[in-house]
Each structure stands twice: as structure tokens, then as C-alpha cells.
Structure 1
Amino acid sequence: MTKVGILLGSLRKASFSRKLAENVAHLFPEGYETEFVEIGNLPLYNQDFDDHNQVPADYTTFRNTVKGLDAVLFVTPEYNRSIPAVLKNAIDVGSRPYGQSIWDGKPAAIISQSPGNLSGFGANHHLRQSLVVFCKKK
């Protein structure tokens, strides 16, 4: 079974991103399992947590959850031509401490959306810029 984690860039319960992700989750073929990964509870990333061995439990839970996934699907709205802070924070929490990124070598896909004319282009572009550093082969 291939496990795909879905990370939502919107925290709103009735968000377009959530509705889109819930519909897409059912489109995966047999042999794939999807799970929504909570990111709204993550404290803002602070390297002192890692440096002083005071890692919040929510960081540990999140990092272990993503480590157990085979791939990640990011579904995000566009906020001010970029991604929401909650999504960037999750990326940062997962990429640290340095050299221990949970994202390294993990396949990822992006769905961006916006009711505006550009349909999430800015969010998609910025998210790809943040993720490209993790595209190393293991």
C-alpha cells in the first residue's frame, strides 16, 4: 500500500482547498491510501527548540507522520501571490534540524487554487521554489 499524505494550506473548515483535497483523495487508484496531515497545530518554527532539545510534541508527531508517508500532496490556496504561512511553517518544521529533513527524496505533487484569474499560479510557483531543495535522490 502506498501512503500519500495530504497537507492543506488552508485552516478554514469549509475552505476550497479542503473540498478539493477531499474530492481528489477519492481519485487515487487501488493500492494507494491517503491521509490528511494536521499542520494547524504546529508552533512557529524556532531553531532553539531543536538546538536545546526542547522540541514541541506537535513537531515530533508531525515529523514522524510524514516520515511514514511514501509521498505528499500539497493542496493550497493563494494568499497574496504566495502560500499561506501555515504551509510554509510546516515545510520549515519538516526540514529541520539541518540534515534531518523529512522531505528529502519524497515525491510530492502540488494543487493550487484561487477564485482569482490566475488560479493559484503564485502559490504554486512559490511552493515549488520551497520544495525544489528537497528533490535530492537518496
Structure 2
Amino acid sequence: MVDDQLMHALVQAARAARERAYAPYSKFAVGAALLDDHGRLHAGCNIENAAFPQSQCAEASAIAHLVLTGGRRILAAAVVGVAVDPVTPCGGCRQRLREFATDDVPIWIADLQIVRAHYTLGQLLPASFGPEHLA
């Protein structure tokens, strides 16, 4: 169970990461932060590329940071973006998160002022395919 203080820290880390986003084409900056099973936070931002398919989502950047530091399990996540509707992870990132997280992992969706939504990974990616299917 992730307490309010940890949720706040995740959201703040995602907001700070969003400020570092490289989004010169879309101008749509996103930040993400993950909590691993060692209590460490891993943040990432979106990184665009002139060849659009080569861009990288904030969640993918945060996962890369998690893996680089030896993390293998996500216990919670936060995503920060600014839009009319809450900015949830794209379909590809939902699957990327699923590689390291279980259905019950909480994901907070925030903007620059408030947490706008709360989901579990299972709500965002029901009946998902994960590593255990290959065991």
C-alpha cells in the first residue's frame, strides 16, 4: 500500500521530470515517476524525435532508469501531463509497465496542480499479457 506522502513524492517527481521533456514538435510535455521495490523513485520524460516513430514516452524513460539502477519491480506510478482530459499512459506504455508491475499497482494521473485520476494497472490494461505467460 502506498501512502499519501509517497504518492505526493511520485507526483512531484513526475512534475519535475515533465519540466525536462524534449517536445519541440508537439509541445506536449509528459513526466512519469515509478516507485520500485527498494523504495527508490525513477523519473522520466518524453523525448521527441524529428522521425516521429522514434520518439520515447515518459513512462519508457522512467522504466529505462529503473532497469539501469537494477530495479525489476514497479510498486506505484505517476504520470503528469496537461490536457483537457487526464493524461494516462498510451497503450504501448501500459504494456511496458506490465512487464514490471502487477494488475494491482496504483497509477496516479496528475496535472500541474492536482491529482486528477487514480487507476490500477489492471483497470488501464485489463486481461493483460505478462511475463508469467512465458514461464
The normalised TM-score by structure 1 is: 0.39
Name the structure, 1 or 2, with higher relative contact order (CA <8 Å, separation 6+): 1
**Which structure carries more strand by proportion?**
2
Pair member with larger Rg? 1
The normalised TM-score by structure 2 is: 0.39
